[in-house]
Structure 1
Amino acid sequence: MSSEFIKQIVTGFNYIVFYYVLAINTIYFMQLIMSAFGLYDYIRKMHYSDYKKYTTSVNMIPISVLVPAYNEENTIVDNIKSLLALNYPSFEVIVINDGSQDNTFHKIVEAYNLKEISQPVRHLIKTKSVKGIYKNLDIPNLILVDKENGGKADALNVGINISKYPVFTTIDADSILESDSLVRVIMPFIEDHLTVAVGGIVRIANGSKIKDG
């Protein structure tokens, strides 16, 4: 094999790599431009939208907030308080105790004076066994589910089985939501009936001072 032939192969390979990298970077650049326009549109809507008027509207889609909890005794009571204070006309908070080894379950029961109730559980999704369901009639939109440990995904599936509303959202037991978060989450579903899922922006609150949830 002559050196000239090898040189042609190397040159051809370099051209292939060059055009490949050029194509990839062009696609990334186009995605960046499209994202910039999308972000601008989102910021514009956020700036001009009056979300407060939606917090009391009876036409808003009800939401189930699913909170899987495992060994969260240090924060769970305050986080539930924060969730119950969300500005939204119709929602339920379903806390799923995933077989915690600490006092997570007992702290929730004591803090919110929950009592075990008899409630049938749909088995749309196969999960670990549910030990009990707890409620307080004075806090009708709070539900505590005690179940065998099965992991976060299994806990969320239990929450889906128990939820009664058409849309559900999930949040970790050591996280908090802004007061109008549910309104912001539901708006894409109202604006476009083809919407199947939405996400939020996660920020680190370490070192921040949080007042009243």
Structure 2
Amino acid sequence: MREFLLYYGMFAMYYVIAINSLYFIIMMFSFKSIMGILKNSIYSRFQALSGSEHVPPISILVPAYNEELTIIENVRSLLALNYPRYEVIVVNDGSKDDTLQVLIEEFSLKISQHMPVQPLLQTSRVRGIYHNPAFPNLYLIDKENGGKADSLNAGINLSHYPLFASIDADSLLEKDALIRIAKV
């Protein structure tokens, strides 16, 4: 029994040494990769892209359902992005709170009668599209509740640009987030 425990202890010790050595090697390769990523980000010129016309225009779609408390801060952060050409399309998905009214009042949005909508994707009934020329890249779609995918489809139908991204109504982006993505 004593010999069995001795061999078992030796096996366990060598096993732990082998596993820890493997983890150490993986960690060293990770540090090498991380240092390369950091070096690229430090020396990259993504800031130069912020004024460039060579970055593609993008539509940011924001589906919102009962987001009365956070929607203003989110939209303000999106309107402050450092990117040459983009639009923010907020889609009120039949909210039961005052999400729609808060946005209309905060940005002085008016219902638009002649908004070009490409009905590419089927959606729930759109009740209205709001816009204010003082905020030329902000649009608000008010529609009946149909879920997040339906809201995104409504945003795609209104989008003016071929590329689009979706962000939750309770999330915030850093000012240079789109430029960093365009750099890749």
- TM-score class normalised by the smaller sequence: 0.7 to 0.9
* Structure 2 counterpart of 1:169: 165
User: Relative contact order: is structure 1 or structure 2 higher (C-alpha 8 Å, sep ≥ 6)?
Assistant: 2
- Residue of structure 2 equivalent to 1:141: 137
Which residue in 2 is equivalent to 1:105?
100
Alignment of 1:66-77 (within 5 A): 66-77=61-72
Structure 1: 5+ residue stretches without partners:
1-28, 189-213
Could you state the TM-score of these two structures normalised by the residue count of structure 2? 0.79
The letter for the 2-side match of 1:111 is E
| CA apart distance, 1:38 | 6.3
Deviation at 1:178, TM superposition (A): 0.7
Alignment of 1:191-210 (within 5 A): none
Letter of the aligned partner of 1:86 in structure 2?
L
In the alignment, residue 140 of structure 1 is paired with which amino acid? P
The amino acid across from 1:152 in the alignment is K
Query: Residue 92 of structure 1 corresponds to which residue in structure 2?
Result: 87
How far is the alpha carbon of 1:157 from its aligned partner? 1.1
Question: RMSD in angstroms over aligned alpha carbons?
Answer: 1.9
Q: Is the 8 A contact 2:46 2:183 kept in 1?
A: no
Which residue does the alignment assign to 1:11? none
For 1:43, give the aligned amino acid.
Answer: L
Q: Do residues 156 (structure 1) and 165 (structure 2) align? A: no
Matched, 1:81 2:113: no
Number of the residue aligned with 1:44? 39
User: Any conservation in 1 of the 2:74–2:172 contact (CA below 8 Å)?
Assistant: yes
How far residue 40 of structure 1 moved from its aligned partner, in angstroms, is 5.3
Residues 1:185 and 2:181 aligned together: yes
In the superposition, relative to structure 1, how do residues 103 and 180 fare at CA in structure 2: closer, same or farther (>3 Å)? same
Q: Give the residue type in structure 1 aligned to 2:172.
A: I
TM-superposed CA distance for 1:51, in Å, is: 2.0
Shift of 1:133: 0.5
Whole-angstrom CA distance in 1 between matches of 2:49 and 2:144: 38
Aligned residues: 157
- Partners of 2:91 and 2:34 in 1: CA distance: 34
Aligned-pair identity in percent equals: 50
> Which of 89, 104, 111 does residue 116 from structure 1 map onto?
111
Structure 2: gaps of 5 or more residues: 1-22
- Give every structure 1 segment of 4 or more consecutive aligned residues whose post-TM-superposition deviation is greater than 4 Å: 35-41
The CA deviation at 1:124 is 1.3
Is 1:125 aligned with 2:125? no
Distance 1:120 1:50 in 2: 36
Could you tell me the TM-score, scaled by structure 1's length? 0.69
Per-residue deviation, residues 30-56 of structure 1 (Å, max 9, x unmatched):
xx89x9476555433222112221111
Deviation at 1:167, TM superposition (A): 1.1
User: 1:63 aligns to what?
Assistant: 58
Match in the other structure for 2:14: none
